[in-house]
Structure 1
Amino acid sequence: MRIRVSHVWLIGAAAVLGACGGSAPTPPPAPPKPPVATAPKPAAPAAPAPATPAPAAAATAPEVPMAQVPNYEAKARRDPFVTLELREGAGGLTVAATKLSGIVRGSRTALALVEAPDGIGYILKPGDTLGDGRLLEIGSDSVVFAVTPKPGAPSNRVVLKLATN
């Protein structure tokens, strides 16, 4: 029994080691070498040289392959090296250019009806932004916006009053 177990073990080890020693992977093919420019050898000294050199020999210089330059198309991407320009709110809308059209008071909140110069109306509640400002509070006949001219600058208060006809 002892002999059979050792034979089985040796046969198994030989099979495992035999499978590991497969052929090495083939390396990738080498890129083709560019042609080397060689100077034409002069003819035998016994033959007289022609009066004019052959223009074909001088004109056929071997062409060196040009490296491919990557082509970058920006299409819809922005240039990362250009400073970002901040547009104020919706299409450059400013609070100073708007007018207060109405105030609606409900049981829970008040809403301000603000009209832009292009005739588009906005319904705002406190905390909403419009253009370059944020609505702070809605009074009985006016609204107060905090307008920040540039990021990091202190904000100014702009009050829009309801027009009385």
Structure 2
Amino acid sequence: MADIVSERYAQSLYEVAKDEKQEKEYLEELTAVCGAFRENPDFLKLLTTPSIAFEDKQNVLKTVFEGKIRPFVLNFLMLTTEKGRIGLIHEMREAYKEQYYFENNIAEVCAVTAVPMSDALRDRLKNKMQAVTGRQVVLETSVDPEIIGGIVVKVNNEQFDTSLRTRLSEIAARLTNTIA
């Protein structure tokens, strides 16, 4: 969950994006920027290092992002760097995404399975979750062989766990309580 500073910066960026009717595009660009920082942690470290002059940081930002992202998103990066808040960029992106999803009636659903899901199963799950939530669904999937089988679905702050690992753990706990 984003803190108040991140939320305020994200809200300001969102308001500009909304005025320009480009909320989704800003989200995509902010996501790409965060991806670049995730892939190159030293890049973000450089921007948060106090001993490096702001002008140098500004030049680096321009060199890397100018022409690849909208000018206002680049200005946003420069402002957050100047104010010493660029280290919160991932939280700002998350707060922006939450606002975008809220205003566009979108639910983020994360599904974890033991093996990759087929496209048909992904579509069925997405349709089922849209029916359950009454919202448009963005489905994120991942694989975790340790769940053995079944599925773990997270929607907002709720988790539905029908994994075989959880079922086996529940049976083991019941047997332990029965024997003890």
The structure carrying a bigger strand percent of its residues is 1
| Structure ranking higher in helix proportion | 2
TM-score, L = length of structure 1: 0.21
